[in-house]
Each structure stands twice: as structure tokens, then as C-alpha cells.
């Protein structure tokens, strides 16, 4: 995936549709030695990335959720999901920086006041959510929001926007009546919820949340349905990659207005709009309708990775593919045969938290999806602090600013959601 990273400027789009949106300059957020070596031109073209995380009812390791059978003895799609994350400047611990979601838990509606910051995962300003999609526990909605850290210069906590945004999307997904075409009520005109509509619902809720005075974020939202379909809405430079049998099957392209200037959703106070009208400013406007939508068919053994730019700025697609291939191969989920790389027929021994590694009654220490998530985040964290090996961000800087001295990775918050897709035979209906 061609990675286009962010400029030191912050896009602020009004909450309600208006003819204006403001572009404010922000400072470069790299290492101090790099800032000293960088010219003022580049220093005025970077914005601080910000995101946060999701608050439903549990925070721990990985989760598995399966779709309902559409008929007896027919395959069903099972989505095994884990998330991992780490805040910028914090040490990474794969045993604790991991997320567990139970699709049968009730999603708690976001609170208008008193949103507990202490309960947020240690993801810095990154946000994510994973939720049941409608009444079917096996269908999944998920997303990552990368908040705009430049708002800190205006005295705004960027995490509030992205956390609330993800909370509202999780609640809207769980409350949806119709999800996929396979589960929509027959004989009704009700259309299934789309990824772009879910983004719109979350954004509108944030705009009407009186506790969110200002802020903004990029967003990527994915819907996984019972019939093995994935719909993705991507706005900005968070993204996803779809891996299949040792290859990159599909990936998202970042949406940017200019180098390092991604599309983003924002809530802008009226006072800022008045100042912009008085003193001038670039007129930009990004809304959920501007998100790029793609649709994908899934197969047994596919691996999906959704992440904030903390991943894409530090690892190339081929780096992620190598990590996934090595982890899947070591576990035996992807195996080399005479016919090439093949997926293990049954992935339950690798993905079920209650299954045993050696056949005894003891549970597994980790699921394959959680190992994938932690391996990817660990590698991205290591690359972000490497001052010598140039990653995607460094290469983009050299492309647009060939005289700059940026070297190595880019330290940032990192948030990754991994989905391991499997197909299982649905149990036969009991005979009465």
C-alpha cells in the first residue's frame, strides 16, 4: 500500500455542513535531533497524530465470534478478532496491551458526562471499537479512529473526540436491526446498515455531544457479515490490508489533501470559525460521505489488519505479510504443501481460547489472532524507534522534501485490529 503520511497541519471541518473548513499549521513531532536538522518548511508541515480506544464491557486478550448457519450442514463464517495497541513513548507489553471482546456482552451506551478516562486502554490518542453487528452475534463491526493531536495546542484533549466517536459507532452497530442481506427481514423495505452510514451515525452523535467541544480524527470502519462479505469505509490515512495465502490480496489507499494532510472529521467551535473568517484560512471540508468504500469477498484462512497510521508509517505491506506468514506458518495454520501454501482445514485449535495446545484440559495461553496482533504491534513499535532503518514515513519525507534529514521510523501511537477468517460446518438441526 502506498503510504502517504501527514503534514504538520490540522484539518478542522465544521460539525455541521458549512461552506468552510479550516487548515491550521502544526509543528513536526519527531525526535528532537530530527527537528533540529529539519528546515522550517518541513517543521511547518506536520501534525500530531491522535487516537484513542473503545469502551464496551471488557478489556483483555482476544475474542472469537461466529456467524449463524444459513442452513443445516452448511459452512458458516467465523471471525476471530484480537486487538493490540501502545501509546507513543510507552513500553510495549504484549501480555497487557491486548483487547478481549465478547460478542454476547451488552454494549454500554456512551455517557454524556463523566466519561472515564482511566478506563481507556493505554493506546494514547488512538481509538478503536469492535462490536456485534445487529442482532446476530456472529456479524461484526469494527473500526479505528486516529485523532488529531494538533488540537492539544488549543487546549483540547484529542482523545475525547476519538473515544466518543468509537463508542457511538459501537453502540449504533449493536443497535442496528438489519445487517447483511442474508439476515435482513424478508418482505421489508429496511436496507442493511453500511460502513459509511455507521461512520455517519457516530460522527453525528459526537457533533451533538455537548461534552465534545472540539476535536477531530480520521476513521476506518469495517463490517463483516454472515455471508463472508467485508465492506470498508476509509476516510484519511488509517487503513487496512487483506492477506490471503502468503500474498497481499487487497489494501486501502490513504486519502490526503497534500503530503501528510489526511482527510479527517472534526468538530470546530464557533469562535474558531469566526477567527478563520476574519483572518483567512484554507477552505476544506471532510464528511463521512467523502470516505472511500470498498467491498471484498472473504475465504477460509484470510487475515485482515485494520490499523492507525502508527503502523503504516513504520511498516510496509510486505513487512506485515512476512510477520503474518511467519506466525501462521509457525502455528501450522498456513502450511507449505506440494500444491503450495494451504490453509489448515480446521482453524479452531488455533483460534479457540478454550482449546488446548497439547490435547489436555488446560486452556491455551494465547490464540492465533492475539499472537498476530501482538507480533505486528511489537514490530511496528520497534521500527518506530529505529533511527537508522527508514520506514514508509521516512521515504515519503524524502520524496516530497529531498533535502530533509529525517531518518528511521516515526514514533506514534499504534493501534491494530486483526481478524482471522475461518469457515466451519454448521451443526445439523436436531430432529424432533
Q: What is the DSSP string of 358-425?
A: SSSSSPPSS-HHHHHHHHHHHHHHHHHT-SSS--HHHHHHHHH-TT----S-----EEEEEEEEEEEE
User: So what's the pLDDT on residue 245?
Assistant: 92
At 103-143, the pLDDT tens digits run 766 666 666 544 568 788 889 889 999 999 988 778 999 99
At 357-391, the pLDDT tens digits run 444 444 456 899 999 999 999 999 999 999 999 99
CATH code of the domain in which 407 resides: 3.60.40.10
> What's the pTM value of the predicted model, to 2 decimals?
0.81
**Grid cell of 230 as nine digits:** 467485508
Residue 50 lies in a domain: yes
Residue 108 lies in a domain: yes
Task: Please count the structural domains in the chain.
Answer: 1
Closest among 269, 223, 190, 253 to 12, alpha carbons compared? 269
**Grid cell of 202 as nine digits:** 457516530
At 199-220, the pLDDT tens digits run 999 999 999 999 999 999 999 9
Range of the domain at 213: 9-425
Residue 2 lies in a domain: no
Residue 53 lies in a domain: yes
Residue 115 lies in a domain: yes
User: So what's the pLDDT on residue 276?
Assistant: 74
Q: Looking at the predicted structure, is the pLDDT value of residue 193 above 80?
A: yes
Residue 431 lies in a domain: no
Cβ within 8 Å of residue 200, ≥6 positions away: 288, 289
Distance of CA 188 to the CA centre of its chain: 33
* Band of pLDDT at residue 47, cut at 50, 70 and 90: very low
Residue 430 lies in a domain: no
CB atoms within 10 A of CB 249: 16
**Grid cell of 271 as nine digits:** 469562535
User: Locate cell 468552510: which residue?
Assistant: 20
Residue 25 lies in a domain: yes
Instruction: With beta carbons less than 8 A apart as the criterion, state whether 92 and 86 touch.
Output: yes
**Grid cell of 282 as nine digits:** 484554507
**Grid cell of 126 as nine digits:** 488512538
Instruction: With beta carbons less than 8 A apart as the criterion, state whether 56 and 150 touch.
Output: no
Amino acid at each position: 500500500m502506498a503510504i502517504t503520511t501527514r503534514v504538520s497541519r490540522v484539518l478542522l471541518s465544521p460539525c455541521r455542513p458549512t461552506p468552510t473548513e479550516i487548515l491550521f499549521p502544526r509543528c513536526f513531532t519527531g525526535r528532537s535531533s530530527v527537528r533540529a536538522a529539519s528546515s522550517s518548511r518541513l517543521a511547518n508541515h506536520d501534525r500530531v497524530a491522535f487516537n484513542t480506544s473503545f469502551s464496551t464491557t471488557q478489556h483483555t486478550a482476544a475474542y472469537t465470534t461466529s456467524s449463524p448457519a444459513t442452513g443445516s450442514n452448511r459452512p458458516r463464517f467465523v471471525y476471530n478478532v484480537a486487538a493490540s495497541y501502545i501509546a507513543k513513548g510507552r513500553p510495549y507489553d504484549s501480555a497487557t496491551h491486548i483487547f478481549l471482546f465478547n460478542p454476547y456482552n451488552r454494549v454500554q451506551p456512551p455517557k454524556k458526562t463523566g466519561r472515564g478516562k482511566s478506563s481507556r486502554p493505554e493506546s494514547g490518542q488512538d481509538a478503536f471499537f469492535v462490536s456485534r453487528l445487529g442482532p446476530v452475534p456472529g456479524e461484526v463491526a469494527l473500526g479505528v479512529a486516529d485523532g488529531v493531536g494538533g488540537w492539544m495546542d488549543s487546549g483540547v484533549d484529542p482523545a475525547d473526540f476519538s473515544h466518543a466517536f468509537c463508542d457511538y459507532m459501537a453502540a449504533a452497530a449493536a443497535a442496528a436491526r438489519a445487517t447483511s442481506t442474508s439476515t435482513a427481514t424478508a418482505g421489508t423495505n429496511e436496507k442493511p446498515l453500511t460502513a459509511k452510514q455507521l461512520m455517519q451515525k457516530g460522527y453525528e452523535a459526537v457533533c451533538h455531544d455537548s461534552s465534545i467541544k472540539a476535536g477531530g480524527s480520521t476513521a476506518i470502519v469495517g463490517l463483516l457479515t454472515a455471508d463472508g462479505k467485508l465492506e470498508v469505509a476509509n476516510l484519511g490515512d488509517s487503513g487496512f490490508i487483506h492477506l490471503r495465502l502468503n500474498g497481499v490480496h487487497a489494501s486501502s489507499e490513504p486519502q490526503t489533501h497534500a503530503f501528510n494532510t489526511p482527510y479527517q472529521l472534526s468538530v470546530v467551535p464557533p469562535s474558531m470559525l469566526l477567527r478563520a473568517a476574519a483572518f483567512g484560512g484554507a477552505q476544506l471540508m471532510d464528511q463521512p460521505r467523502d470516505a472511500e468504500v470498498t467491498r471484498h469477498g472473504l475465504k477460509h484462512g484470510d487475515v485482515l489488519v485494520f490499523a492507525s497510521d502508527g503502523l503504516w508509517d513504520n511498516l510496509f505491506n510486505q513487512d506485515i505479510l512476512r510477520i503474518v506468514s511467519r506466525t501462521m506458518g509457525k502455528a501450522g495454520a498456513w502450511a507449505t504443501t506440494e500444491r503450495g501454501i494451504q490453509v489448515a482445514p480446521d482453524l479452531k485449535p488455533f483460534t479457540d481460547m478454550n482449546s488446548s495446545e497439547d490435547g489436555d484440559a488446560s486452556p491455551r495461553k494465547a490464540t492465533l489472532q492475539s499472537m498476530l496482533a501482538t507480533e505486528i504491534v511489537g514490530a511496528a513499535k520497534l521500527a518506530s524507534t529505529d533511527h537508522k532503518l527508514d520506514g514508509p514515513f521516512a521515504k515519503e519525507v524524502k520524496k516530497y522534501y529531498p533535502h530533509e534529514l529525517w531518518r528511521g521510523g516515526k514514533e506514534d501511537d499504534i493501534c491494530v485490529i486483526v481478524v482471522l477468517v475461518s469457515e466451519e460446518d454448521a451443526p445439523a438441526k436436531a430432529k424432533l
